[in-house]
Amino acid sequence: MSKLKIVQVGLGSHGTGVGVNAIVSSPDFEYAGLVDPYQPGLEEAARQLNVDSSKLYNDHKKAFAEAGADAVYISAISPVHFEICKDALESGFHVLIEKPFVLDVIEGKELVELAEKKNLKLMVDQNYRYNLHVHDLIKLVQEKKLGELEFANVQFYYFHDGKPYQKEMENYMLMEMAIHHTDLIRYVLGSNVKTVNGKTWNEKNSGYKGDPCVHAAFEMEIGIPVFYTGTLLSKGLSTPWEGKWRIQCKNGSIHLDDLGQDYGVYVVDEHENVTRVPLEWTDYADVKRVFAEFASSIIEDREPAISGRDNLQTLATQLAINKSSKENRQVAISEIL
């Protein structure tokens, strides 16, 4: 079967990296075009991705009209996601879009409905779901060998020198980083968030318009609490991108942490016996798995695993944290959706 033709919109650092790691070698996709208004960056990406200069565009609408694509991958800066995604769907293309899907639930709903009306696939690249450790965490949660879930604690600490567009964003931490963790919390625990009590904050002269720090207490639909702390201004010890996790069960705890044998997944029983869980998946191929799933959903004509519709829950949770912080009250996700 011939490969699906894809146009990639946005060839900055992440987009180019994904191209190199997942698209060039993809058994499912080949490039029909690359789009970026910044010409030097576009040409450098084309060199790295071995894409002919006849397939380069500075304007996504021109690419959508001329390139002969089946699908579009949007890896442009977050504030332009909505406009480009809407144009791609209206032009009849399946869409894989970077997190944050969009910055507003109303926009997200419009795109989900548009995709459904046109029978097009709309998938969000919440690639952490395909992380090696996450796969094992889910298995442990589902096996319930340590008894019922009681609560969970997730912490993320990192010092990040944000991109210019990130420095201007209203919900910088919530939309650019914590959205990965909220999505993982939903995925690993197999439950949407019901309510949040959240607080976001900034530091003087941080250079960010939006808050880089967040704390949130979630009440999950399955009835357990989850406590999340995250900052992109951390000095001192940082955590890996997925953060440090403790999932408390009735008879022991499940961890994603370094409990003495490097960062990984551990279980600790009620006698405090610590066991490192060997990884079931060994190839670090999260974004490759995202593209494989996107292709399968197109070929099999089914909903993709991380659909736009599913992602509305993650997006709404982030906006609920923001609202909770501003209004100093508990916010139900249903108020946002």
Ligand X SMILES: NC(=O)c1ccc[n+]([C@@H]2O[C@H](COP(=O)([O-])OP(=O)(O)OC[C@H]3O[C@@H](n4cnc5c(N)ncnc54)[C@H](O)[C@@H]3O)[C@@H](O)[C@H]2O)c1
Find the shortest distance in angstroms from Cβ 90 to ligand X. Answer: 16
Find the shortest distance in angstroms from Cβ 202 to ligand X. Answer: 19
Q: Is 293 in the site for ligand X (CB under 6 A)?
A: no
How does DSSP assign 77-95, residue by residue? -GGGHHHHHHHHHHTT-EE
Distance, in Å, from the CA atom of 97 to the CA atom of 74, rounded to the nearest integer, reads 5
Q: Report the residue closest to ligand X, judged by CB.
A: 12
Which part of the chain contacts ligand X (CB under 6 A), choosing from 46-54, 70-78, 269-277, 291-299? 70-78
CB closer to ligand X, 37 vs 190:
37
CB closer to ligand X, 49 vs 76:
76
162 class by beta-carbon count within 10 Å (0-12 exposed, 13-18 middle, 19+ buried) = buried
Among 23, 63, 69, 98, binds ligand X (CB under 6 A): 98
CB closer to ligand X, 249 vs 287:
287
Q: Is 176 in the site for ligand X (CB under 6 A)?
A: yes
CA atoms within 13 A on the CB side of 188: 32
19 class by beta-carbon count within 10 Å (0-12 exposed, 13-18 middle, 19+ buried) = buried
Distance, in Å, from the CA atom of 98 to the CA atom of 72, rounded to the nearest integer, reads 11
Distance, in Å, from the CA atom of 268 to the CA atom of 28, rounded to the nearest integer, reads 41
CB closer to ligand X, 242 vs 331:
242
Which part of the chain contacts ligand X (CB under 6 A), choosing from 21-29, 34-42, 64-72, 87-95? 34-42
Among 4, 6, 10, 29, binds ligand X (CB under 6 A): 10
Q: Is 76 in the site for ligand X (CB under 6 A)?
A: yes
Among 212, 178, 149, which Cα is nearest to 315's?
178
Binding mask 184-203 for ligand X (x = CB under 6 A): --------------------
Distance, in Å, from the CA atom of 65 to the CA atom of 229, rounded to the nearest integer, reads 44
Q: What radius of gyration, in Å, describes the C-alpha atoms of the chain?
A: 20
CB closer to ligand X, 127 vs 191:
127
Binding mask 153-172 for ligand X (x = CB under 6 A): ----------x---------
* 207 Cβ neighbours under 8 A, 6+ residues apart: 162, 167
Whether residue 101 contacts residue 124, with contact meaning beta carbons closer than 8 Å, is answered with yes
Find the shortest distance in angstroms from Cβ 55 to ligand X. Answer: 15
Among 75, 171, 297, 313, binds ligand X (CB under 6 A): 75
Q: Is 77 in the site for ligand X (CB under 6 A)?
A: yes
Residue with tokens 């309510």: 195
Q: Is 60 in the site for ligand X (CB under 6 A)?
A: yes
**Chain positions contacting ligand X, by CB under 6 A:** 9-15, 35-38, 41, 60, 75-78, 80, 98-99, 125, 127, 163, 176
